[in-house]
């Protein structure tokens, strides 16, 4: 299958490219900064995006490329919409023109975090920060401009070689720094490699629609940190539990934003429990004690 993966220099895009090539796909990776085996493409440039996709005539474009600096998006919401919203609009229009399917990777932060239960795929979004709003704009463009779409929401990704919550906390623990982690922010930790496998399986189903693909189970930031610290040999390292109000930042994250993988279960695609995924991640990093 002829495939383009955006954000191929990133952790999710790079892993997707590896998996799909291993399955025999003809994959072109693109990113705003070119690299080995990765072509340059600025998705914020409509003409360049349309020309690139029209020339290669892919059967599917997987689009994880995004500006994921949540606090950065809060400082510059117009840039967030340009990259995450209109960049996605350009991909949706170009893929529709060549009758290709599009897979848009979105986020749990399109929801307001006020639900009493995990959010399902067709619950109404109500973003409370600039990042969530910009990703919701991308969802709307994908939904309305290309009928052959997969909109996939995920949360709290952790990946090998990237900057994420697990590595930030472990690095701080190794340096002997004081740890303070919020207790009232709840979601689904999701292993990058598990998500990439699930996405590769999803595009082979032809079952277009909205999906939540996260490792099973929800947890607070505090208890998430406590789990992987214990498993990495830092059981004696204390963590001070705090509330989000005690950790001021430019962006306001939704408080309870767990996702329910209802649609994925319906077609046989599930991700393992988050604790198993964390153990697998730590083992691969050589950190599991």
Active-site residue list: 131
Give residue for tokens 């474009």.
61
Cβ–Cβ contacts within 10 Å for residue 15, how many?
23
With vertex at residue 264, the alpha carbon angle to CA 288 and CA 162, rounded to the nearest 5 degrees, is 35
Are 89 and 138 contacting, i.e. CB atoms less than 8 angstroms apart? yes
Tokens encoding 278: 């964390």
Task: Report the relative pairing of strands 209-212 and 149-154 from DSSP bridges.
Answer: parallel
Tokens encoding 109: 């932060």
Cβ–Cβ contacts within 10 Å for residue 174, how many?
11
Cβ–Cβ contacts within 10 Å for residue 4, how many?
27
In sequence order, the 6+-apart residues with CB closer than 8 A to the CB of 172 are 179
Residue 20: DSSP 8-state: H
In sequence order, the 6+-apart residues with CB closer than 8 A to the CB of 168 are none
Between CA 135 and CA 22 the distance in angstroms is 30
């Amino acid at each position: 299958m002829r495939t383009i993966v955006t954000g191929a220099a990133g952790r999710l895009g790079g892993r997707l490219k590896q998996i799909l090539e291993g399955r025999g796909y003809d994959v072109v990776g693109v990113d705003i900064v070119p690299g080995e085996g990765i072509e340059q493409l600025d998705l914020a440039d409509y003409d360049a995006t349309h020309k690139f996709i029209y020339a290669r005539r892919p059967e599917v474009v997987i689009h994880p490329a995004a500006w994921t600096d949540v606090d950065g998006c809060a400082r510059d919401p117009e840039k967030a919409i340009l990259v995450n919203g209109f960049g996605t609009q350009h991909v949706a229009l170009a893929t529709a023109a060549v009758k290709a399917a599009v897979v848009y990777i979105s986020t749990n932060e399109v929801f307001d975090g006020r639900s009493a239960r995990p959010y399902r795929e067709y619950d109404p979004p109500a973003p409370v920060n600039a990042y969530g709003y910009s990703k919701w704009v991308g969802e709307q463009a994908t939904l309305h401009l290309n009928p052959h779409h997969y909109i996939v929401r995920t949360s709290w990704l952790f990946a090998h070689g990237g900057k994420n919550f697990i590595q930030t906390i472990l690095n701080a623990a190794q340096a002997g720094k004081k740890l303070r982690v919020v207790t009232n922010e709840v979601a689904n930790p999701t292993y990058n490699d598990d998500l990439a496998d699930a996405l590769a399986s999803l595009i082979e189903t032809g079952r277009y629609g909205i999906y939540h693909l996260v490792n099973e189970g929800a947890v607070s930031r505090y208890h998430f940190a406590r789990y992987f610290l214990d498993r990495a040999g830092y059981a004696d390292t204390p963590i001070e539990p705090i509330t989000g109000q005690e950790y001021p930042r430019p962006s306001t994250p939704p408080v309870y934003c767990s996702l329910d993988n209802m649609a994925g279960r319906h077609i046989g695609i599930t991700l393992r429990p988050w604790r198993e995924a964390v153990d697998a991640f730590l083992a691969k990093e050589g950190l599991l004690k």
